[in-house]
Homo-oligomer: A and B are copies of this chain.
Amino acid sequence: MFDYKKHGQINPPARLLMGPGPINADPRVLRAMSAQLVGQYDPAMTDYMNETMSLYRDIFQTQNQWTLLIDGTSRAAIEACLVSAINPGDKVLIPVFGRFGHLLTEIAERAGADVHTIEAPWGQVFPASVIKEAIKKVKPTMLAIVQGDTSTTMLQPLEELGEFCRKNGVLLYCDATASIVGNPMLVDEWQLDAVSCGLQKCLGGPSGSGPITLSDNFVEHIRKRHHVEAGIRADHHQEGEGTRIRSNYFDLPMILDYWSEERLNHHTEATTMLYGARECARIVLQEGLDNCIARHQLHGHAMAKGLSAMNLELFGDKSHKMTNVVGVNIPAGIDGEELRKVLLLDFGIEIGTSFGPLAGKIWRVGTMGYNARKDTVLTTLAALETLLRIGGHSFTASAGIMAALEVYAESNSFNNV
């Protein structure tokens, strides 16, 4: 007998997600995702696919034709870019300044790459000169780099890398999952060849769809490995001369065929996630991409000022912080995990810890997407103040809230966002 009590309808508790992501989805995204399905070759569906491509071109600030979704989480989108481009034995250079640099290394190694890493201490980023030197030394086929590494909250500047890579015949891949639409990402201006992200940070959607954009240069490279699956065409010809891509699911040349006017079947597009991804982009572009980034700057700044004013030390290099997430050292005498637990279960507010060397040493507080708002900043600071004081951490009463309010008072245009 079905146990109705044990398996009731979905009814999650109300939570305010102020961690490093996922965050609360914008209710408009959830509404869009409740729309009924259409068939995968329905003109309505292919129109939605084309529109999604167009909307994400604006998100990525690119003219790249091949701007589309990978059906999986942001990690799936990373793997699709790397495994499609890396021929076994290719040299790949990866600057690691946090957990997600390690992830790129992992994925590239499994794709058969000869990976060379350079490492920065967690909390720092790389000067462009260091990366350029490494490129000269290693002479990689590809540079793979994270823009914003949520594990450390740091934002790697990319401005100078693209031109240098093009000149040296190096493909430049970037993971922008944590940074996109909360920080500038100018794919064409910066000459990036492949960029991937996910919905669950500043885009304000649920995890499960990975937008990517690919330069013509990158597409030409991967198309050398183009094969067509047996069983879907009467003529089983294989177009590519290059080595076969190690994954079918992440075979970008085949995925491009599916998103092209040819619509050659690959996977069955995850329609509901596409509805969600489309709505995420629509919301950002309606607000205006620059306004959206400015909003993340404002609320992230208010949060950081508020936390500082409660005698919490900000983690890492302040001049290279993402706008949308801030790390603070957990003060001596406070049990970081216990505080997070009470904050979640009594106040309904979630903040994060970190990974690896920073696990249990820093908290990470996000102001992302739908949750980059004045009310969320103030309620989070108020709840934190209460728990820090109970825990014996000393600071001037209301200092956090007052510091945040000061930021808002100085800001005209966003005061009522």
List chain B residues, Cβ under 8 A from A45.
12
- Structural contact, B76 and A206, CB atoms closer than 8 A: no
Assess whether A7 is interfacial by the CB under 8 Å rule: yes
- Structural contact, B6 and A231, CB atoms closer than 8 A: no
Assess whether A256 is interfacial by the CB under 8 Å rule: no
A332 and B265 CA atoms in complex are apart in Å by 26
Binds B, one of A271-279, A299-307, A393-401, A402-410: A271-279
The number of residues on chain A lying at the interface, defined by a beta carbon within 8 Å of a beta carbon of chain B, is 101
Closest residue of B by beta carbon distance from A233 = B356
Selected contact of A37 from candidates B40, B99, B206, B357, CB within 8 Å: B206
A300 CB, nearest partner CB in chain B, Å: 19
Assess whether A130 is interfacial by the CB under 8 Å rule: no
Please judge, given known A-B contacts A110-B247, A231-B356, A356-B233, whether A73 and B37 are in contact too, CB under 8 Å. no
List chain B residues, Cβ under 8 A from A317.
none
Interface string of A121-134 (1 = CB under 8 A from B): 00000000000000
Closest residue of B by beta carbon distance from A15 = B38
A256 CB, nearest partner CB in chain B, Å: 16
List chain B residues, Cβ under 8 A from A42.
13, 15, 344, 350
Interface centre among A23, A105, A107, A271 (most CB of B within 10 A): A271
Interface string of A105-122 (1 = CB under 8 A from B): 111011100000000000
Binds B, one of A25-33, A189-197, A308-316: A25-33
Assess whether A161 is interfacial by the CB under 8 Å rule: no
Interface string of A262-293 (1 = CB under 8 A from B): 00011111111101101100100110100000
- Structural contact, A51 and B248, CB atoms closer than 8 A: no
Assess whether A365 is interfacial by the CB under 8 Å rule: no
Selected contact of A9 from candidates B7, B32, B54, B357, CB within 8 Å: B32
- Structural contact, A271 and B22, CB atoms closer than 8 A: yes
Q: Which of A59-85 contact B (CB under 8 A)?
A: 71-76, 79, 83
- Structural contact, A231 and B101, CB atoms closer than 8 A: yes
A248 and B104 CA atoms in complex are apart in Å by 10
- Structural contact, A246 and B17, CB atoms closer than 8 A: no
List chain B residues, Cβ under 8 A from A72.
71-72, 76, 249, 267, 270
Selected contact of A267 from candidates B44, B207, B269, CB within 8 Å: B207
- Structural contact, A107 and B271, CB atoms closer than 8 A: no
- Structural contact, B32 and A19, CB atoms closer than 8 A: no
Please judge, given known A-B contacts A17-B39, A32-B10, A34-B31, whether A270 and B207 are in contact too, CB under 8 Å. yes
Selected contact of A247 from candidates B35, B51, B79, CB within 8 Å: B79
User: Please, could you name 12 A-B residue pairs with CB atoms under 8 Å apart, sorted by A?
Assistant: A6-B51, A10-B48, A25-B37, A27-B36, A30-B33, A30-B36, A30-B272, A71-B72, A71-B208, A74-B268, A76-B249, A272-B273
Q: Besides A200-B268, A230-B356, A272-B276, 11 other CB < 8 A contacts? A: A10-B35, A15-B39, A22-B40, A37-B206, A42-B344, A72-B76, A151-B231, A231-B355, A270-B273, A272-B273, A273-B273
Nearest first, the 3 closest Cβ-Cβ pairs linking A and B are: A208-B270, A102-B231, A99-B231
